[in-house]
Amino acid sequence: MNDNISVVSPLGVSLDMKIVGINHSGLTDVDKSRAYINIRNAQKLLQVDGSYITDINIKLKDFSLSEELAKFYNSKFGFRSVDWKEANASVFSVFKIQNMVTYLIIVSILVVSGFGIFNILMMIIYEKMPDIAILKAIGYKDRDIKIIFLTESLIIGTFGGLLGLLVGFLMQKIVGNIRMDIKGFVSMEYLHFNSTPGFYLFAFVFGLITTAVAGYIPARKAAKVDAIDIIRSK
């Protein structure tokens, strides 16, 4: 900061300048190769008049309007206008692949947990065969037995999902406060997590659906148990 440097353009024009600020965009390659000066000095370095401008960057308070405004400026002024997503398409393609891999891992974890619940309920059914036989003997119908075990799987899924959301939220806060100082394609001091409620809701609903599907097959098997054969075997 505050050092004086000599800036030389490809045309051989030299200007003495002072460093008044250091910018960190988070993109390492950009930060290593980009500098900002006022437009008048840039025009002097390129030996052009004051009307020479190559690009105009517009900062918006609501970035979600960028695509709509780009189309409007393009039609109104005739110049090529691009929104920030299109301008950084190569960067976003990397994050898109990363998000896809993340979602696949999450879905795999939920499916594996569903198989875990399936195995637990199947073991419970084999252990509770005499109890199921007694329930049927006293008048419980196949539908009632199915509801009992399906309700058990939904209870496991509900409490497990709520506990998972709580643990995930706490872990997010803990890890998010650990200083990382990550350097590379993207540099950052701390890991940033998306805390949008929609993600939590999606995880909970998907987990609940997984446990319901995993519990339906054992519940159906329990409903088909023949009470007479079980009592006779005992």
Q: What's the CA gap between 227 and 234, in Å, rounded? A: 11
What is the domain count for the chain? 3
pLDDT band at 120 (very low <50, low <70, confident <90, very high): confident
Pair (70, 166) in one structural domain: no
The predicted model scores a pTM of 0.55
* Half-sphere exposure of residue 142: CA atoms within 13 angstroms, side-chain side: 7
Pair (10, 73) in one structural domain: no
Summarize pLDDT for 74-101 with one digit per residue, the tens: 888 888 888 878 877 777 777 788 888 8
Query: ∠ CA(71), CA(92), CA(176), 5° rounding?
Result: 125
Pair (105, 200) in one structural domain: yes
Domain final position from 40, 70, 87: 87
Q: DSSP 3-state assignment of 217?
A: helix
Pair (97, 4) in one structural domain: no
Q: Which of 4-8, 68-72, 126-130, 193-197 has the highest mean pLDDT?
A: 4-8
**Which domain, by its residues, includes 66?**
61-87
Summarize pLDDT for 134-173 with one digit per residue, the tens: 877 788 888 888 888 888 888 888 888 899 889 988 988 8
Tokens 């930060």 identify what position? 31
* 57 backbone φψ class: left, alpha, beta (φ>0; ψ -120 to 50): beta
